[in-house]
Amino acid sequence: MPRAWKTLDTDFPNYYLTSRLAHEGVDMSRAYEWRWLQRQKDHRAIDQRVVGLVPITPFSTLFLWPLDGLQPLAAKHIWLLLQMFGLVAIAGVLRAITGQPLRRIAMLIVICFPIYRNFLYGQFYILLLGMIVGGCWAYQRGHSKLAGTLVALATATKVFPVIFVLYFIRKRDWQALCAAMLTGAAAALISVHVFGWQMHLVYLREVLPWTLRGEALPPYMLAGSSISTLLHRLFIYEPQWNAHPWCPAPAMVAILQPLLQAVILAPALLLVRRGVRSRLQIAMEWSAVLTASLAISTVPASYNFALLLLPIAVLCSYLLPHRRLAALGVVLLYVGIGYPGWNAANVDGLRALLHVPRLYLVLAFTLVLYRALGLRLRWRRGVAREDLIWCGALALVVSSSIVSGLLRQDGLYDDYAYRIPADAGVFLAGSPVEWKGVVSSVSLVAEGYHIWPHAPGSALDEGNARLGFDDLALTSDGTTAWTEEVSTRSRLVSSDVGGPGSIEEAESPVLAADGRHLAYLREEGGGYRLFTRALMSPELAEVATTPKEMDVDGATFLPDGSLIVSAFAKERSYQLFHVRIGAEPQQLKLGKARYPAVSPDGHWLAYSHFEAGVWNLWLMDRGTGSTRRITHAACNQTDASWERDSKTLLYASDCGRSLWFTAICRRRVIP
């Protein structure tokens, strides 16, 4: 608690900042973009090195709505106190559910390391535990509607409790199911009203699918101790994160992940009996569904396992009267799952199997619950028709998941052939440009966002890390570069010592190929407006290039000084426009498109087109207007820029990695 009280640490600022931005009326369409959210954090002087919203649901951040008017650390203080009171209330409800004395429940809380992590990081799992425990208590007492309501709120907060909806269907409890559906719809409407529809579209179409596959965050880190992490480590080659898998066979991940998840989850559902309504039986069923959900989770962090407080309390109430030794063994499993000192180092080959001990302990805990639940049931001879239907439905879901996973791998790893090697300490890289013969990018490292040259022996310039600001955008004409430096304000800084110096209150610089003009964004009226400046005539003032009502996202210069810009159109999707000073912007008929880049000779326009949930690279011949697709993969290729030959593209790709954790590629696209 002393450390938690003194520092923001990791996750709390993500929730706090998102809620605060919505409270301030900021357009949240780009909230899931790492650099955009980092810029907002820096402008508000929040003392946290790196922030990011992926894979958090928008609704979950609303719990901090009453606190986001306070300073971040003061808000965390109140949040910690609320969690302390909540934990006391949870202990009381667990006593009512299990009949265990409070001293025993208090002991289970004290030996739960994940609860300590919840306090340290300001996480949400004590709140989530309260919802699930409250739902179990309500269901024990026949309050189906209340149970369904709490499950829906838990699902809107962290997604995976949605499996309890299957529990209600299995029980044929339509009241609980309807209450869950109505509450879920109400939560969605509230969230859309606060954050806007575009943010939710990004979450549903781009963030959630990657989360379900275990690829919302880097999937090769064994500290995650999930089935998804282990399979990625064993079977998928990735040049930077997993250069030596045991057997490079990505198809095995597509097949084994949904299959193993179904095998683990199936007993939790099949052991549910519609006609059994004893309180202990219901508590054990809820515990089994909850534990199975954690066992198949694709992104389980250590603090997630605070939720095991319900299953361990229920198992103790079942085992202690007659099987004290078994109860002791289960408690040891519980302590082991939460133990923070396991060796989870990233190792190569089959040794990875020895570095996910938490996964094995969770699976063992799940099997113990299944065994205990099965012993309480009076088994019938043969297999019930209803069970066959459920098995068939699960088999259908698994089959469709395998097929879609195999189809998704078409072209998924093609970008490896064009990858520019990066240091192991670079998590993501974007805005690649050629500068003095070396490809440089904005890279996320442990110290924040900084300019990183992708050349043998290159390393981070520690200067701006010590100064405490982030570099969030980079542009170059080949010899001179402009960088966006961000602290409480954004400013643009030139690498040319004798040049025009810096520009205050400006973001996302774009330099013309001849180095004579600079374009940049400035926030106005809740959106972004594009401005240009003639660098060869510093006495001239900047010029507003786009109308106020046009919310600009990015731009690129044409040889005649006009620009192609990416902006939100009236239909609230990204579109490309041709912009000339003093003229009405003309929309290019290229569909949903972002990240424009015109070649130095002005002949080619590269851009990213959105289709089927991902951004792929396309090319337009500006002379004929014809277009062709460059990449075909279920991953994102963005931030394109041209080398001086007007034939070679630099771009950022998250193919084979995780969502928007991009690496830099160089690809010749013109013969």
Residue 437's pLDDT is what? 87
Give 234-262 pLDDT, tens digit per residue: 999 999 999 999 999 999 999 999 999 99
Give the predicted TM-score (pTM) of the model: 0.94
Give 517-553 pLDDT, tens digit per residue: 999 999 887 789 999 999 887 667 789 999 988 999 9
Task: Answer whether residue 467 shows pLDDT above 80.
Answer: no
Residue 39's pLDDT is what? 95
Q: Taking residues 272-276, what's their average pLDDT?
A: 82
Give 485-517 pLDDT, tens digit per residue: 999 999 999 987 666 678 999 999 999 999 999
Q: What percent of the chain has pLDDT over 90?
A: 80
Residue 377's pLDDT is what? 61
Tell me the two tokens of residue 322.
């007659």
3-state secondary structure of 476: strand
Strand-strand pairing, 663-668 and 481-486? unpaired
Residue 583's pLDDT is what? 86
Q: What percent of the chain has pLDDT over 70?
A: 96
Only one residue has tokens 């994102």, namely: 636
Give 75-132 pLDDT, tens digit per residue: 999 999 999 999 999 999 999 999 999 999 999 999 999 999 999 999 999 999 999 9
Residue 127's pLDDT is what? 96
Q: Taking residues 383-405, what's their average pLDDT?
A: 91
Task: Answer whether residue 208 shows pLDDT above 80.
Answer: yes
Distance CA 325, CA 314 (A): 16
Q: Taking residues 322-334, what's their average pLDDT?
A: 93
Residue 466's pLDDT is what? 52
pLDDT-based confidence at 568, cuts 50/70/90?
A: confident
- Helix residue ranges, H only, 377-522: 385-408, 462-467
As beta bridge partners, residue 664 has 652
Q: What is the three-state SS of 293-349?
A: HHHCCCCCCHHHHHHHHHHHHHHHHHHCCCCHHHHHHHHHHHHHHHCCCCCCCCCCH
E strands, 160-213, where?
none
Which amino acid would we find at residue 366? Answer: T
Residue 457's pLDDT is what? 60
The residue among 487, 518, 517 whose CA lies nearest residue 505 is 487
Torsions phi, psi for 297 (to 5 deg): -60, 140
Mean pLDDT over each residue of the chain, to the nearest integer:
92
Q: How far is CA 300 from CA 120, 217, 291, 433, 601, in A?
A: 17, 11, 12, 36, 49
486 DSSP 8-state letter = E
Q: How many residues appear in the chain?
A: 671
Distance CA 596, CA 564 (A): 7
Only one residue has tokens 């004893």, namely: 278
Task: Answer whether residue 21 shows pLDDT above 60.
Answer: yes
DSSP letters for 214-266: T-SS-TT-GGG--HHHHHHHHH--BTTTBSS-SS--HHHHHHHHHHHHHHHHH
Residue 169's pLDDT is what? 95
3-state secondary structure of 373: helix
- Helix residue ranges, H only, 44-71: none
| Triad 445, 229, 341: Cα angle to 5° | 75
Q: How far is CA 467 from CA 461, 470, 471, 486, in A?
A: 11, 9, 11, 11
Torsion over CA: 274, 278, 283, 288 (sign)? negative
Give 281-312 pLDDT, tens digit per residue: 999 999 999 999 999 999 888 899 999 999 99
Contact residues for 541 (Cβ-Cβ < 8 A; gap 6+): none
Task: Answer whether residue 382 shows pLDDT above 80.
Answer: no
Give 411-462 pLDDT, tens digit per residue: 999 999 999 998 878 999 999 999 888 999 999 988 899 998 887 665 555 5
The residue among 569, 545, 573 whose CA lies nearest residue 557 is 545
The distance of Cα 149 from the centroid of its chain, to the nearest Å, equals 26
